Amino acid sequence: MERITETLTILTEADKEAGDLPKVSEDELAVGKKRLYIESYGCQMNYSDSEIVAAVMRNAGFATTSTAEEADVIFLNTCAIRDNAEQKVRNRLKQLNGLKKRRPELLVGMLGCMAERLKAKLLEEEKIVDIVAGPDAYRDIPKLVEEAESGQKAVNVFLSREETYADISPIRLNSNGVTAFISIMRGCDNMCSFCVVPYTRGRERSRDPHSIVREARDLFEAGYREVTLLGQNVDSYKWTPEGSTETVTFAQLLESVARVSPDLRIRFSTSHPKDITDEVLYTMAKFDNICKYIHLPAQSGNSRILKLMNRTYDREWYLRKIDRIRAVLGDDCGISHDMIAGFCSETEEEHQDTLSLMEYARYDYGYMFAYSERPGTPAAKKYADDIPYDVKLRRLNEIIALQQRLSLERNRRHIGKVHRVLIEGTSKRSEDFLCGRNDQNKMVVFPKGRYAKGDYVNVLVTDCTAATLLGETVES
Ligand code: SAH
Ligand code: SF4
Ligand code: F3S
């Protein structure tokens, strides 16, 4: 399962172009300080959380290091979304065993969703682990480290209804200095039947909008030019100030962040098809600096399966959302999806509905997975995981092949057109090329010329692959 679901995602090529996601933390001069090494797995929220953990640990006197070998404390910020995500972490723990044998005083902590799912059981299953901390327990980490230093195993997996870490200034790990994530909410109140997230991240809660806008402004002043507002379901963001009855919606938050500067690009993820409103689409249309790109996971193109998944919309509703996006934001608006192949009882015809929905939506990208049953979820309790592995795999590969074709078709539309690109860095393929994203989140590669990271440039697209646009800079 590992190879299929993790490596065949269409976006991987573009992501590589942008540089690996922040896998390890920054180095710094740390004379006399203890060193922390953090490795992150899973979604952007986990990467963002690692930056909060680094800030908490820095306040406790730890410096960060980018090599596990140098660390006094190693944290793995883990994901539990599919079985293979957990296997990856277990394999990594095996690798770390050697280090721990050589240096028994080395502390290993498990953070994030797998830690929350397995709780103290992890300590029994993985002897190398000293600390287990769930996503809402990160303020407590220095105390847990102290406990572990004194020889006890330390666990905090308490889930909070309030914690948003709003006052903590994240330490940007492995940052390109141009793009950054801002968490705007935590948890999830949707109960998609296949999904472990409500159990690992708890109830949904939104963060104070002032702290979000402040963080965006600080990033802009520090030279950043793009922020991605993160939440499992950003469209259900809501904040009611104390003593007030007026609620700040996601559309209003988006507008406030967009007003920080016209030169600060705004992205957001993830949108739930049932919650994204016209107000959000109109706000996107109103501001040039809100990127015209929406990640709108479908999960399936068949209404019966969507009902079993408890997604609360059906095929028709989803298709009308796509129509609405195209009507308000035009045909060029980038749209991507998540899709699950081989959910419980999915028939061949129902799988075909997924393919036809994809054709209709003409997605730019996709993140595609074989269904992986997660213990304790409604689907695991109620439905049999009855699609044979080879059938899941074949369906997944059909979905992926179709997405490859759609991505290529969508990218070809841009050939001959000029795109505004925010430069993120040097292309991984060659020092002589730069790369950055256009409005629709497509990676664009072009010769370096006199430009540098953080500049906006106009690029005429001359060629493309399914994952990347290629071009040359032109004067505006
Ligand atoms: N909050 C986001 C998704 C978060 S999880 C949303 O609602 O869209 C990211 C993706 O992982 C999901 O969209 C889904 O496609 C996939 N996923 C979640 N649970 C899964 C499971 N049990 N098996 C396979 N894929 C799963
Ligand atoms: Fe999981 Fe559904 Fe919540 Fe997304 S919206 S995190 S898929 S429960
Ligand atoms: Fe994984 Fe947790 Fe994100 S399960 S996908 S790290 S919310």
For 363-418, what is each residue's pLDDT tens digit?
999 999 999 999 999 999 999 999 999 999 999 999 999 999 999 999 999 999 99
Q: For residue 188, give the nearest of 274, 288, 293 by alpha carbon.
A: 274
| CB-facing half-sphere around the CA of 260: CA atoms within 13 A | 28
- Distance CA(25)–CA(114), nearest Å, equals 20
Task: Name residue, tokens 């303020």.
Answer: 139
Task: Name residue, tokens 């904040």.
Answer: 239
Angle, vertex CA 90, rays to CA 86 and CA 96, nearest 5: 145
Q: How far is the CA of 207 from the centre of ligand 3 (A)?
A: 19
- Distance CA(272)–CA(333), nearest Å, equals 17
Who lines ligand 1 at CB under 6 A? 81-82, 194-195, 197, 232-233, 270, 272, 297, 299, 338, 340, 369, 371-372, 374
- Other C-beta atoms lying within 10 Å of the C-beta of residue 412: 14
Handedness of CA 418, 420, 423, 428 (dihedral sign): negative
Q: How far is the CA of 462 from the centre of ligand 1 (A)?
A: 35
- Distance CA(393)–CA(389), nearest Å, equals 6
For ligand 2, whether the C-beta of 193 sits within 6 Å is: no
Cis amide prior to 377 (ω within 30 degrees):
no
Q: How far is the CA of 415 from the centre of ligand 3 (A)?
A: 36
The helix or strand, by DSSP H or E, that contains position 131, with its residue range, turns out to be strand 131-133
Residues of the chain with pLDDT under 70: 1-32, 476
CA 145 vs CA 50, 111, 164, 419: distances in Å: 16, 12, 22, 49
Task: Name residue, tokens 């629709």.
Answer: 440
Q: Whose CA is nearest to atom 1 of ligand 2?
A: 195
- For 18-84, where are the E strands, in sequence order? 34-40, 62-64, 73-78
What does the pLDDT read at residue 107?
98
Phi/psi at 74 (5° precision):
-115, 125
- Distance CA(53)–CA(51), nearest Å, equals 5
What does the pLDDT read at residue 30?
59
Q: How far is the CA of 328 from the centre of ligand 1 (A)?
A: 27
- Distance CA(67)–CA(74), nearest Å, equals 10
End-to-end CA distance of the chain: 47
One-letter-per-residue 3-state SS of 414-453: CCCCEEEEEEEEECCCCCCEEEEECCCCCEEEEECCCCCC
CATH number of 179-412: 3.80.30.20
Mutate to test the pocket of ligand 1, among 44, 195, 383 (most ligand atoms within 8 A of CB): 195
What does the pLDDT read at residue 475?
84
- Distance CA(206)–CA(359), nearest Å, equals 35
| Proportion of the chain above pLDDT 70, given as a percent | 93
What fold does the segment set 418-474 form as a domain?
A: OB fold (Dihydrolipoamide Acetyltransferase, E2P) (2.40.50)
Q: Please, which residues have CB within 8 angstroms of residue 300's CB and are 6 or more apart in sequence?
A: 306, 309, 311, 339, 340, 343, 346, 350, 353, 354
- Other C-beta atoms lying within 10 Å of the C-beta of residue 7: 8
- Distance CA(246)–CA(298), nearest Å, equals 31
What does the pLDDT read at residue 20?
39
What does the pLDDT read at residue 147?
97
Tokens of 330: 């035009």
CATH number of 13-156, picked from 3.40.50.1260, 3.50.50.60, 3.40.50.720, 3.40.50.12160? 3.40.50.12160
Give 58: exposed, middle or buried? Use CB within 10 Å, 0-12, 13-18, 19+: middle
- Distance CA(192)–CA(175), nearest Å, equals 33
Q: How far is the CA of 44 from the centre of ligand 3 (A)?
A: 8
What does the pLDDT read at residue 10?
29
Which residue stretches of 330-377 are H helix? 348-361
* Domain map (residue ranges) of the chain: 13-156, 179-412, 418-474
The three-state secondary structure class of 253 is helix
Taking the CA of residue 311 as reference, the ligand 2 atom at the shortest distance is: 2
Angle, vertex CA 162, rays to CA 160 and CA 219, nearest 5: 115
